Amino acid sequence: MNKLHNYIQGAWTLGNGQGKALHNAVTGDIITYATTDGLDFAEILQYGRDKGGKALRKMTFQERGLMLKALALHLHEKRKSFYELSYKTGATKVDSWIDIEGGIGNLFANASLRRQFPDQPYYVDGEHARLSKEGTFIGHHIMVPKKGVAVHINAFNFPIWGMLEKCAVNWLAGVPAVVKPATITSFLTEAMAREIIQSGILPEGALQLICGSAGDMLDHVESQDVVTFTGSASTGRMLKAHPRIIQEAVPFNMEADSLNCAILGEDAVPGTDEFHLFIKEVTREMTVKCGQKCTAIRRIMVPEKLVEDVQIALGQSLSKMTIGDPSLKEVRMGALAGQEQVKEVKERVAELTRNAEIVYGDFGAIEVLGADASKGAFMKPMLLRQDNPFVHTEAHDIEAFGPVSTIMPYKNLDEAIQLANMGKGSLCSSIATFDDEIAREYILGAASHHGRILVLNRESAVESTGHGSPMPMLVHGGPGRAGGGEEMGGVRGVKHYMQRCAIQGTPTTLSHVTQVFQPGAKYKETPVHPFRKHFEELEIGETVFTHKHTVTEADIVNFANVSGDNFYAHMDATSLDGTIFEQRVAHGYFILSKAAGLFVDPKKGPVLLNYGLEECRFIKPVYPGATIGVKFTVKEKVNQEKKDEEDIAKGIVKFFVDVYDETGESVAVATILTMVKKINQE
């Protein structure tokens, strides 16, 4: 008997018994069986903590990011091999592309995110806090990987994307994962997991896979673990209330199916680009993945005078949908994931139509291309209409998780906002309008109830990823019914898997702990200029005290001539009454430029180039006669990988520039970035 394997404790393992039959959504045939009976979930979680966690925590963010990049490149080469299996979930080629290549793309995006993190296993969060008068006692925040596992309980609609978009984030943070995909489509997740494990790119224990029931797994989670859930709101609430989750205060990130909405702006009348885009977007969100998307448009808000126009246009657009075998290029909409989903959608539609009418589609005979409608999990798109959505609120409470959506009218934008918010929290909303004031008013009124809002118009549509596409660098989640969680979101998402700790001590101690120079720390004076040293030779806190320069009026005039900056405070002493300046003041950028002249070692050496300026502040006015010097300190080092064999091995060194005057007070501070060559060029 063909059964799916579970990948646990470093080996592919079968569960006991026959398990649950998994069906081809198109033909109804049994593909395989899945079971987790007999697995010890306590040992599985502990193995992840001990084996995978320890290995990942030893790696720096740069190493973890490069690991993700290598995995993404490997899977990109293998991506075509997953499509044939994806078709069996009912997904068309476009649906499969979102799942497979979208998931791999998420790995690429998070790999690139490594550049926003230090070359350390931890993250220094924000700026230091001065806690004492003399500055000898400061505070800071550091974030370290949690010493647990990320337990991902995923939905059936995106078997690959659901795993990769979550794991990319926890792996970058330094935390291993135990993935429990929805059983019905877990055969596709298992295929991807096999390729990941076979690649050998991840450290052992970084990924474990459970194909079947989660059993008593949640009974064994601990406070250092993180649980994420994607699926129905009712199931999510049940899991979130698990006694162990509450007892151990386990972070629980919930991304639940929600009643997302699309609003047609009052300016988007028939004939405008925005009207056309709106019809196209609603049609797409109803039919991509057969509407089995947590972000799909369930409620369609339309100015009451345009309801008939929208109903007709959507009906015409939906009528062009070719339903059938998703592997055929002519097919625009495949099958639902299984007969259970078809049955559930029918039940929800029956509830919705107690007070609403069906204006397009039905549950009658269905014509499909290249398949047998009686065997596959096929259904037609269905458009409902609710003319009194403030009284009959079913569409704001009940979700049919399929190609089903409800049109409802609004009188003005205030009503549209009220209707949108009656969904009690959703993952996303969109508004089609070319009027930026309408967009602004809608966003400010609806943002409290939505995790993401898309403004769709003729300009954004050129490159827009659409209503239902979460992006790796933006948070994905929503308040209320949507679960109240957040995932992805660039740096924000990574922080979900890390513990923030406030640290206190002297600037010198915290400089050593964080490996970032803190203002007020002891300097490490060096007779050798830092520009004469290679990347590996530089130490945090190494400082050069430069020669000094006395600023003159000639400096101010010459800089004004060179730069063209003739601002009155620099050039006209008669205009200073009522200002903060006592006399003509030196240009801030002259001070910074002169500082560079003081701290730069001009000879050829390991420094390849000035990479940029990260921050700059002009603190105190500098008048003619003031004498300035510079304390030039190694602040932070960030490793860089070689792009190819011909590339120079190098890293980025951040220098803290403290320009001070004859009183010893700082007049300007800045952080400059330099690209520095390494000794080892291998």
Provide φ and ψ at 392, rounded to 5°: -95, 105
- Is residue 255 annotated as part of the catalytic site, yes or no? yes
* CA pair distance 587, 589, nearest whole angstrom: 5
Point out the catalytic residue in the list 255, 266, 274, 281. 255
- CB 427, CB 258: distance < 8 Å: yes
User: Nearest Cα to 618, choosing from 641, 580, 589, 651?
Assistant: 589
Structure tokens at 402: 């399929």
* CA pair distance 548, 82, nearest whole angstrom: 66
* CA pair distance 599, 542, nearest whole angstrom: 13
Collapsing DSSP to helix, strand or coil, 534 comes out as coil
- CB 184, CB 90: distance < 8 Å: no
Point out the catalytic residue in the list 294, 399, 428, 487. 294
* CA pair distance 484, 259, nearest whole angstrom: 14
* Structure-derived torsion over alpha carbons of residues 101, 104, 109, 113, reported in degrees to the nearest 10: 180
* Structure-derived torsion over alpha carbons of residues 637, 638, 644, 648, reported in degrees to the nearest 10: -20
User: Nearest Cα to 162, choosing from 335, 4, 295?
Assistant: 295
* CA pair distance 359, 415, nearest whole angstrom: 23
- CB 189, CB 209: distance < 8 Å: yes
Provide φ and ψ at 227, rounded to 5°: -110, 130
- CB 384, CB 404: distance < 8 Å: yes
* CA pair distance 256, 130, nearest whole angstrom: 42
- Is residue 294 annotated as part of the catalytic site, yes or no? yes
- CB 287, CB 403: distance < 8 Å: yes
- CB 254, CB 151: distance < 8 Å: no
- CB 177, CB 161: distance < 8 Å: no
Own/partner contacts of 63-66, CB < 8 Å, gap of 24 or more, are 64/114, 64/171, 64/172, 64/173, 64/174, 65/110, 65/111, 65/112, 65/113, 65/114, 65/115, 65/117, 65/172, 66/111, 66/114, 66/641
Active site positions, annotated: 255, 294
